[in-house]
Structure 1
Amino acid sequence: MSVTLSDYFKSYFAEKLQDQVLKPGDNMLDPTCRFLQKRREVMDVNEDIKLKRKDFESTLKALQVRKRWLRQNEEQFLEYLQKFDNFLEEREEKKRIAVRNAGKERELTSQKQVDLSNLREEMKAVIKKRDSLAKRVQKNAIYSCYLDEVVQANDKFQEVQQVISRYDTLLLTLEDMVLTTQQNEDSREKARAYRARFIEQSNNTLLHDNRTIAELQSQLDYACNECLIHDSNWARIQNTAAKKTLMLGTVRMAILNEFESLWKRGKDTSVSTVLPMDTPKQLAQIQTHLADLTAIWEEVSAPDQTAPEDTDKSIQFNL
């Protein structure tokens, strides 16, 4: 910092000296005088610089002292401010705690007031019940006298408590008998209800069975009718089959007779290989023979057209 200020003052006074050196009229002086003058000016400037430096150093020291004092004051102020903030926070916290405690105390006080009111009501109810019991005891005092007289008059009981125990026993027995009677009555009611449900279920089952029997009977009648229809159809089919079989036998016999007559007239060796029961082959042989006769007829009728009737008669005779 001091070096910088020294450089500043040197540059400042150097400019000032340069301005003084460049003033007009300096060239008229002797160099020695001018040197001495300049030296004197330099010494004056140095003195001024020293004075300025001392003033600056004293001012700088004062500023440093002031700065340290301000820093200390600032630290103290910040410390006081922090303490004050802590004090305010503690105060707010204490205030919140106090408000919360006050609210709790108010709630507790209200609850205590409610409890106190309830206890007063209960105390009034207890006092009322006590008075009622006292009146009841006073009213029932005649029964105590009566029980004493019963004990004195009856040798079975020595104390009033025995009479009361006997009464309690008889009362319990009566309650048991009433309960047993009620249970028996409930059992009878359940039995009646079960009997009614059983009868209803039996009737429903019987009705369902009768309906099923009727449906099965109708199905049986329908099946019998269908059986009669099928039996009649079967008899008709058998009769038709017998007729067709008879007709088929007649046709086969006719074919066999025609085939045998053809075989006897023709004496064809290929015909002898056909079995008597092979009707299709027999028909084939007959058709072949008819085709041959037709061809012969056509050959005969072609050159001779005058005697067709004789040829027809001979063909019919051969057939």
Structure 2
Amino acid sequence: ILLMQKKKKKHSVHPCSVFLSQAFHLKMEGLKHRRADLNQKEQHLKEYLLKFDQFLKGGGQENDLKKLRAVKKANKEREVKRQKDRDLANLQDETLALNLVKQKLLKKLQKYSLYVNYLEKVIEASDEFEEVHQVMSRYDTLVMTQEDLLQTAQESQETIDRAKARLLHYVEEKNDEILQYNNRLAQLQTRLDKAQSEAVVWESRWAYIQNTAAKKTLLLGTIKMATLNLFQTVSKHAKAKMTVPLEDTQQQLEVIQQFIQELTSIWMDVNKFEQSATAS
């Protein structure tokens, strides 16, 4: 493709170089005519000045007016000559510039002539192409196809990039959500671990309470049985029928307490009596 581009550039430069070469020759011809014209006018001016000097040297008083007009005309001719000299200098500069352009174009023609020969050999060896413009047309078609493919690839790449950007944005959002859920899950796990630890403590306390309650219940039952037995014993010693329910432990304790108080009072009276008898 690079070779074809160079060939195409050569074919695009060749007509232009031919046109510039023709224009250059026309310009040079014009410059030659203008230079010849300037030389002719300069020669006429020199002859005129020579005649004018001779006129000034040989003239009389009656020719003063003619001399004055001749001086003015001479000054004007000198100014025209100076302008022509400037024009000639400009033309010489243009000629030099055009010569430089011509040299550059000749170098390009010499450089690209290799591609012309190559294309001619390609056409001779090819069964598909018969003329150079067919090769260039095929090249243009291939270039257009390549540009279309590049544009399609670029559009596809842009679509892929947009899809990747949307996917990345979606993944980032979901990662943020997952991070939030993980934080929430960690908080809930911490609360669960704490609750389980507290549950173990409370289960231990509940087992202790239940164990203590069982012991207390057993002790209470033992106390109630002992109280009932003692109450029954007191009832036998009192030889009195007492209507106290079996389950009313409090009243039974009151009866027992009253019995013990009475025994204590009797015991104290007996001790006082024995002490009095011993003393007498």
TM-score tier, shorter chain, comes to 0.3 to 0.5
Q: TM-score, normalised by structure 1?
A: 0.36
Larger CA Rg, structure 1 vs 2? 1
